[in-house]
Chain A
């Protein structure tokens, strides 16, 4: 029974909010708080962090006591690969240029899908690379490198 309780959505959400509040307090520990009338840079952050912790504990408690929705299974494959695709774009855009970044992002991102067909995705990636260069760089004149800088 105990294991199932820990899996409730509310409990996990409560933990998350509490952690956000705690992290905010820790990283903001050096900001001056000031007074209500003369607020320092730390006044609002600290207030918000305390509120987050209070609500986090409350929501978490509700998750333990009440019968809320259970935490559904996590799908790591799309989560990792879709974001890795974006990260590839961030890395490639200035080091390898827009077309290479598009191809990299599309292929890595597409691997996160349920079905991956090499031929289809290769055609799509090349088409999008050409299309992106044509529309954004030649058409709209956005300042993006086409080749490595």
Chain B
């Protein structure tokens, strides 16, 4: 199916009234959790996963996708108005966005953020449509060796692109891989690390782990901070001036390009994209000292980048069936709940699903501009709800979400345990994201590793004899070597330090 036909089919599906409604619900929830600090898309998707069981596959995935890119819009509102990242990817938007708000230009900052996001959303939607069909064609040829090498590259990427200390990120990946082994060994049927608990024979639930690490631990970390907020309630005129608009054109374009590329990378996605875009703009600016004092470029570029990155991170998920970040892992979980095997076949066997999601992204982005700009008053009021009332609500949603997965009180208790673990990681400066990726990819890697070795009759050279597999491993190796180089390390540290 060519792209034009695909998009027509997709638009037809996405514009179906019930799908439109779920797209709207998704983007609305996305904006809501984006605006609210202390709850992000990972925890939200994990909470809503059980509910999608009661939906058809297409509306379910349309809604979940909407939550992710919707949260990118909402996050900027909080960043600009109260100088707190509503969503982690909006962290850099605080720097210049809130400064603009204090100068009475909050409206313009919000408008540029929304316009930049919309522009990036449109471009990256097209990019998904163009890049996915050929990619899934290639992926159809993949055997276990290629998949193993690809996931290896994914893990290396997750480490390289992780925030903070490298050795800790590597150790966190190992820990994730180890936790992923809990349960029944697929090859021998032997139980590993189940401690005689029947609920663990199928392994630790991904949503349980994600909700503990990202939902519960986040609440605890937020509770130890004082609730001091610098609130800019006067939004002012929404229309940016012509100069502001002109100044943000190129940064938007660059942000979109950068975000689109970084989003595809494993471990990438919205967060990294926004940091990188901000750094680039600051480097390119004639007068870098303006940054941090309300430079409009410092809003336009990262906001475009995080939305582009959020959307292109769907590419590996939709074409290869491999999650590049935690949100995508949950999307894969949602597919499996619906009985759809993720992988390159999704596009040919479920064209209505693939194209429906892609087309819904564009419609969803259009909805988001309306949700975020004319309705800004609602979100401003929502931000005035104190955290002491919000966190018990988030907590109870975590509890109900985990319980409804398998009706298992044990898993709720396990979530609390992971909550403690998440707080420990937070205190020790260990990023949980690489661990989560290791946890997801671990069992898949082990399976493909063993399968590849069976097919090659135990010859480990199979991974370097097949050209695609060799290529992927070489890229992984180059990445690893790059990290050791001091020059690259400095750039990497700097990219994350801007915030």
Contacts and interface: CB of A to CB of B under 8 A. Distances in A.
B429 A89 contact: no
Given A83-B419, A144-B403, A59 B216 contact: no
A94 B429 contact: no
Contacts of B460: 36-37
Interface string A54-96: 0110110010000001011011011100111111011101100
A31 B190 CA distance: 8
A148 to B, nearest CB: 13
Instruction: Name B's interface SS.
Output: helix
Contacts of A109: 391-392, 395-396
A147 interface: no
Interface string B165-176: 101101100110
A140 B54 contact: yes
Given A37-B458, A86-B395, A109-B391, A44 B415 contact: no
A24 to B, nearest CB: 6
B259 interface: no
B389 A120 contact: yes
Interface in B412-432: 412-413, 415-417, 419-420, 423-424, 427-430
A51 B175 CA distance: 10
B177 A132 contact: no
Contacts of A52: 171, 174-175, 178
Given A45-B192, A58-B167, A102-B396, A39 B450 contact: yes
Interface residues of B, number: 61
Interface in A94-147: 94, 98, 101-102, 105-106, 109-110, 112-117, 120-121, 124-125, 128, 132, 136, 140-144
Q: Which of B174, B185, B391 has the most CB of A within 10 A?
A: B174
B192 A28 contact: yes
B430 A79 contact: no
A69 B430 CA distance: 12
B171 A115 contact: no
A66 to B, nearest CB: 11
Interface residues of A, number: 72
Contacts of A13: 168, 171, 428-430
Contact of B413 (A90, A115, A121): A90
Contact of A82 (B50, B227, B419): B419
Interface in B165-215: 165, 167-168, 170-171, 174-175, 177-178, 181, 185, 187-188, 190, 192-193, 195
A138 B424 CA distance: 38
Contact of B165 (A10, A31, A44): A10
A33 interface: no
A106 to B, nearest CB: 4
B224 interface: yes
Interface string B383-421: 000011101110110111001100101101101110110
Contact of A142 (B50, B227, B392, B430): B50
B460 to A, nearest CB: 7
A41 B177 contact: no
A10 B165 CA distance: 9
Nearest to B191: A41
Given A13-B168, A37-B458, A94 B409 contact: yes
Contacts of A38: 458
B219 interface: yes
A106 B220 contact: no
B328 to A, nearest CB: 24
A93 B388 contact: no
A87 B212 CA distance: 12
Contacts of B167: 55, 58-59, 62
Contacts of B424: 16
A97 B178 CA distance: 35
Interface in B440-486: 446, 450, 453, 458, 460
Nearest to A34: B188
Given A9-B428, A37-B453, A59-B168, A105 B388 contact: no
Interface in B140-185: 165, 167-168, 170-171, 174-175, 177-178, 181, 185
Contacts of B403: 89-90, 93, 144
B223 interface: yes
Interface string B95-115: 000000000000000000000
Given A20-B175, A48-B178, A136 B226 contact: no
Contacts of B185: 41
B447 to A, nearest CB: 11
Contact of B393 (A16, A27, A71, A128): A128
A76 B481 CA distance: 41
A52 B177 CA distance: 11
A52 to B, nearest CB: 5
B3 interface: no
Contacts of B396: 89, 102, 105-106, 109, 128, 132
Interface of A: 9-10, 12-13, 16-17, 20, 24, 27-28, 31, 36-41, 44-45, 48-49, 51-52, 55-56, 58-59, 62, 69, 71-72, 74-75, 77-79, 82-87, 89-91, 93-94, 98, 101-102, 105-106, 109-110, 112-117, 120-121, 124-125, 128, 132, 136, 140-144
15 contacts: A13-B429, A31-B192, A37-B460, A52-B174, A55-B171, A59-B168, A83-B416, A85-B392, A85-B399, A110-B391, A116-B388, A120-B389, A124-B392, A128-B393, A144-B407
Given A17-B171, A41-B185, 17 more contacts: A9-B428, A9-B429, A17-B174, A44-B446, A45-B178, A52-B175, A82-B391, A82-B395, A86-B413, A89-B396, A110-B391, A112-B220, A113-B387, A132-B400, A140-B51, A140-B54, A144-B407
